[in-house]
């Protein structure tokens, strides 16, 4: 990955998670970036730094962006509803919030993505 690609991906991810109104620690947990302190996230949001992407964080980034895209397709008239939907219990997830599943790890993120985008289930 080039530095420009890292910067663009970092910016996209921070924008998506800010739109979802996630706390700093939730953002770090979703990305699986344990080496970043919550108080330093502003450097990444401004574009001063890019995340150090490894195989795991790239996979998580793909899932986050896929969930974001799927929420946009599911709720095209109200993009703000995505942040509400992520934090409300969903019957399909035994009344757990999708965000709770996503924060539990990659398996939870995949479950949410597959629920929103049925085409993802065909790949596995």
Tell me the backbone φ, ψ of residue 90, rounded to 5 degrees.
Answer: -120, 130
- Asked whether residue 120 carries a pLDDT value surpassing 70, the answer given is no
State pTM to two decimals.
Answer: 0.89
Residues 38-79: pLDDT tens digits?
888 888 888 778 888 888 889 999 999 999 999 998 888 887
pLDDT of residue 123: 57
pLDDT of residue 30: 93
DSSP annotation of 9 reads H
The domain limits of the chain are 3-122
pLDDT of residue 39: 84
Average pLDDT score over residue span 99-106: 96
Task: State how far the Cα of 17 lies from the Cα of 64, in Å rounded to an integer.
Answer: 9
Query: CA dist 62 to 20, 46, 78, 99, Å?
Result: 16, 21, 23, 16
Q: Longest Cα pair distance anywhere in the chain, in angstroms?
A: 42
């Amino acid at each position: 990955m080039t530095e420009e690609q890292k910067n663009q991906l970092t910016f996209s991810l921070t924008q998506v998670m800010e739109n979802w109104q996630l706390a700093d620690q939730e953002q770090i947990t979703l990305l699986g970036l344990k080496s970043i302190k919550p108080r330093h996230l502003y450097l990444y949001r401004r574009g001063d730094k890019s995340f150090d992407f490894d195989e795991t964080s790239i996979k998580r980034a793909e899932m986050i962006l896929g969930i974001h895209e799927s929420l946009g397709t599911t709720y095209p008239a109200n993009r703000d509803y995505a942040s509400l939907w992520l934090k409300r219990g969903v019957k399909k997830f035994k009344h757990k919030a999708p965000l709770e599943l996503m924060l539990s790890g990659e398996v939870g993120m995949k479950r949410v993505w597959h629920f929103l985008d049925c085409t993802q289930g065909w790949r596995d």
